[in-house]
Structures are given as structure tokens and as C-alpha cells.
Structure 1
């Protein structure tokens, strides 16, 4: 009986359909740049260049930082941060971080700029050689917050190199989100995660890809899902490490499941969602960041953007809570699973570009009344989808809930460990999951499309 209920809900959603062009709350193909500016459609080479003056100023601030207020005894990361262990990161940044070597590291991949809808968009693009007998597929990879394109640096070469056991090679395109890193920010209200879907569709079209695959986590997962919803004839497949189904049906199903979890969640995964009180307590304790970033983005941006210590502190807090739900009890916040270079490379992208505020604005432009009254959250997504669910991921949606959004859910890969930043934490596993996911999507397309 339960399965028929789910199928009925999915069928009702699919019958409704969704047309973004008739939705007044979606600013598709809007011009986000300065008025009167002509768009430069050329694709221009780009390199990260850290100015000497910027580095000198940064080092001065790091070496002349104020004394941090000691943490309360035994609180570890439960109050958001453990200032007693901040020197592990700050001293390394000030005294041991090799700016020249790390700048070279960030320039190891071909990078470019092009103008899309009035904004200069930065992106990495790796076009591999195609061995005889193989073909190339384009994959758009989208990062999140407080991440950047740096999230994918440890996986790109392995993703794009040919292998004897598969007949395709991958061309990857990894853009910086507008307002993040080296992509322009807009000075206009309204550029949210729905609107970014159009920018990245236009970017891929600019690069000559009429159809392509999308992979993403965090914001990249939400933008990628929107792309799959808006452009089902363009997106060949969607792979995500953070599957989210915010449909009315999914939320109703999850709520009703608290009475009988076995009807909603596989028995061995029950504790990822139920008792629902535990999930709600987790949201209440650790999701204050989302509310403040959505409600008062510029106030927070000023607070963390003026000091490298403040920026590091805020980002460590977020990396900690996103990596494991139990990290609050760890004096290092559980962050030693990442290298100091991984964390600080990512920070350097934000510091160099002064995007602390503009990156946070994506929350204000996405979590608002305009988004929630729009139809795309409930719209069915027919693009074949493969989801990965790490144990420490910040959201867990059971397959029954995901099916109310993703009507062609090809597979769900459930992991018994790991967290939100899977490409940084477990790069080899991430590569294997993406390659496996793409292969299953392609097989699905051959059989069904």
C-alpha cells in the first residue's frame, strides 16, 4: 500500500509539470552586469596571481592578531569553535604556508574567463586527449560554500585521464559560482541558486556543449538539481553528493514516517533520520549559520571579511559541523582529516578576491519568500540521477522521499563513513563514485531514452 502511495504522489507531481519561462519568480537570462556594458563572449586564459602587497598585508594581520578569547573548559567545538587550538592553523598560515608554491599549485589546471549575462565567470576546463576507440563526455562540476573550485583539485586529473576499462573520457568544467572566488559578483538583487542554473547552462553552451552531465555538492547540488529540472532535454545526467528533495510530498512523507519509520527508511538506515526529534535538534543546534547568512548576509560578511583570523574561524566552524555531526566534542573540531594546505588554499581564494560578503549573499537570494512561492522546488526532475549519501552529510533523504523529486533515480550509493566535503576528504573514493555513477546513468539512458 505504501509503495502505491509514493507512486501516486510522484505521478501527480509529474503531471503538474513546470515551465520556468512562465514563472515570474525566476529571473532567467537576466543581465546581471553593469548597465550599458557589452558582453565579451571570448574565452580568455586566466591565472591566479597573488599580489605582493596583498600577501604582505595578510601576513601583517596574521602576525599582529589580537589575543583570542580562551574557550570555556571542555566546550571544544560545541560553542562553534575552539580558540585554544586556532594556533594550529594561524601559525601555519603566518609562518609555514608557502605562498609561491601554493599559487603554482592553484595554477596547475587550465583556467579561463568568459562573460555570461554581464558577469565574468571564472572556470577550470580540462579537455583530455581522446584515445582511439573512445569518446568524450562533458561534465560540469559545481562547488558550494564555504568551498570553492579548490574542493575538486585533488580529483580532476584522475577524473579526466583515460582508462582501459571504460570507453569514454571526461572533459571537466569547474566554474567559480558568481560572487565566489574569481567570478564576478552582481550588484543587483535576485541572483539566487535558480538563476545560477541559467548562467551555467549558458556557460556550457558557450563552450560548445549542447548537452552535458552535471555533478555537485552543497550549493552545487541545489544548482545542479535546478538545471536538471529546468533543462531536462539538455542535462544528460545528474550526480550529487548531497541529494535534496524539498517537495511537499517528501516532507509530508518524512513527517508521517516518524510514526512508522520502516515505511519510509531502509531499516539499517533508520537512525540517519529517526527519531525525527534528533534530526530537528541537530538542525536547531548547527544551522544557525544558515539563518544569519540568509537574513543578514552583509553584516556577517563585514565581520568575517576584514580579518583573516575571523574568516578562518568562521570557515573552520562550518567545515567542522559539515564534516561530522559529532565533531563538536573534538578539541580540533575533527578537522585534521584535511591538510592545512587544503583549508588555507580555500581561504586564500576568498581572501584574495574579497568575496566574504558576496558569497554569503547567495543564501539571502535563495532562502527567501520568492524561492518558496516559486514552483521549481516541487517540480519533478526526470533527468536520470545518481545520489551519494555519506554518513556525515548534513541532510539525509531516504529514497522514497528522493523519488518524489527525482523520478528517474537510478541509484543511491550509501556510505558508512565520511562527510560533506567528500572530494577533499576522500578524493580516490569520490572519483570512483563519480565514474561509477556516470556509467550507470549512461546505461540507463541507453535502455530508456
Structure 2
């Protein structure tokens, strides 16, 4: 029993390792036709053939910024006595939230913050895609490397706003900077 058992252990370990390795292999990439149309409605060849980056800025009209939509809501019923959130949103808290978003929150400042980097809108195979694209200021002797950043789901390009200056400005001791391309995942806009 001793010698056969000792020989069977490496074979068993190899078989288990082989099976585990096959479980962790990534699946094969799907085969997609090159000119698949992903957009809604019929294919539009003029839009399909031209990949045009249209400059894009977030612009919220002044009538929305003054909070008139929040000010015209239905009257809130008073909350039950001694109840916080046990039966849903406490209307006192909801009133505070509505007041904050309608009168205190600085939408103009947020709009400026979101527009601080160049943004574009492009159609790719029928899908409208919002892209943040930041080119660094070119300096002599520094290589520019393109870098594609993708957010997770749920998420958005805003997650990278603090990182962009660190990637697109020269750093001491580095001979490269990044050209940053951050698309919104379709359906997450």
C-alpha cells in the first residue's frame, strides 16, 4: 500500500490541478461580425461610416437650476409619531432633502466641475457614446502614451476626475504622460 499510495498522490494532485486550471480559464471571445449594427432602428450608413467626435458640454437650462420642479411637488404628509424610516422614507427627512436639492445645492458649480475636461459624443456602429478625452500639454522629451480607462457597472466617467491630472501632467522622474480616453459604458449615461 505504501509505494502505490505515494505514486497515486502526485497523479491525483495533477488531475485536481488540471481540472481547477480549466475552471479558471477565460471563456473564448465571441465572434462578432465587423459591421454589426447596435443602434435602435434601421442602420444609418452616413452615421455608421463617419466616426465624428462632436464636442459635448453638460448644459442645464436656468429654469431647471432654480429648482422649480422640486418646488412644485405634491404636499408631503406628516410622518407617524416616533417613527424614523421603519415604514419607508420619513417625510421630514424627505422635505429636508428636497429643500437641499432645490435651494442649497449649487448646480452651476457642479456643471462647471463636470465640464472641466474635454468631452465628446460619437456614434460607433449605431451606439451613441459619451467620451472624456484629455490630451496632455506636450513637452519636449516626454512620450505620450494613450490610456483607455473604463468604469465598472454601475459607474460613470466621474470616478476618474481626480486621477486625470495625475496622468496628464509631467511627473518628476518620468519620461512619459498619458493621453486619457474615458468612454461611458453604453447604457450608463
What TM-score, normalized to structure 1? Answer: 0.33
User: What does residue 30 of structure 1 align with?
Assistant: 36
Superposed CA offset, 1:155-186 (max 9, x none): 322232221143332221122222333xxxxx
Superposed CA offset, 1:178-228 (max 9, x none): 2333xxxxxxxxxxxxxxxxxxxxxxxxxxxxxxxxxxxxxxxxxxxxxxx
Residues 134-283 of structure 1 mapped to structure 2, 5 A cutoff:
134-144=142-152, 147-181=155-189
User: What does residue 115 of structure 1 align with?
Assistant: 123
CA-based RMSD = 3.6
Higher strand proportion (structure 1 or 2) = 2
Distance 2:172 2:186 in 1: 37
Distance 1:9 1:69 in 2: 62
SS in 2 for 1:150: helix
Change (3 A) 1:69 1:124: farther
Q: What is the CA distance between 1:110 and its match in structure 2?
A: 0.5
Of 69, 80, 83, the residue aligned with 1:73 is 83
Distance 2:161 2:26 in 1: 40
Q: Tell me whether 1:44 sits opposite 2:87 in the alignment.
A: no
Larger-Rg structure: 2
Residues 264-413 of structure 1 mapped to structure 2, 5 A cutoff:
none
Q: Tell me whether 1:96 sits opposite 2:101 in the alignment.
A: no
Distance 2:125 2:61 in 1: 28
Higher helix proportion (structure 1 or 2) = 1
Q: What is the CA distance between 1:139 and its match in structure 2?
A: 2.3
Q: What is the CA distance between 1:10 and its match in structure 2?
A: 4.9
Distance 2:64 2:174 in 1: 45
Q: What is the CA distance between 1:11 and its match in structure 2?
A: 3.2
User: What does residue 6 of structure 2 align with?
Assistant: none
Distance 1:5 1:163 in 2: 49
User: What does residue 20 of structure 1 align with?
Assistant: 30
Q: What is the CA distance between 1:85 and its match in structure 2?
A: 3.2
SS in 1 for 2:149: strand
Superposed CA offset, 1:58-86 (max 9, x none): x222123341674873557xx78665434
Distance 1:81 1:153 in 2: 32
SS in 1 for 2:147: strand
SS in 2 for 1:103: helix
Superposed CA offset, 1:395-442 (max 9, x none): xxxxxxxxxxxxxxxxxxxxxxxxxxxxxxxxxxxxxxxxxxxxxxxx
User: What does residue 5 of structure 2 align with?
Assistant: none
Q: What is the CA distance between 1:119 and its match in structure 2?
A: 2.0
Q: What is the CA distance between 1:116 and its match in structure 2?
A: 0.3
Distance 2:52 2:186 in 1: 18
Distance 2:136 2:29 in 1: 36
Indicate if the aligned counterparts of 2:37 and 2:125 stay in contact, CA closer than 8 A: yes
> Post-superposition, which runs of at least 4 consecutive aligned residues in structure 1 deviate over 6 A?
3-6
Q: What is the CA distance between 1:31 and its match in structure 2?
A: 0.8
Aligned length: 173
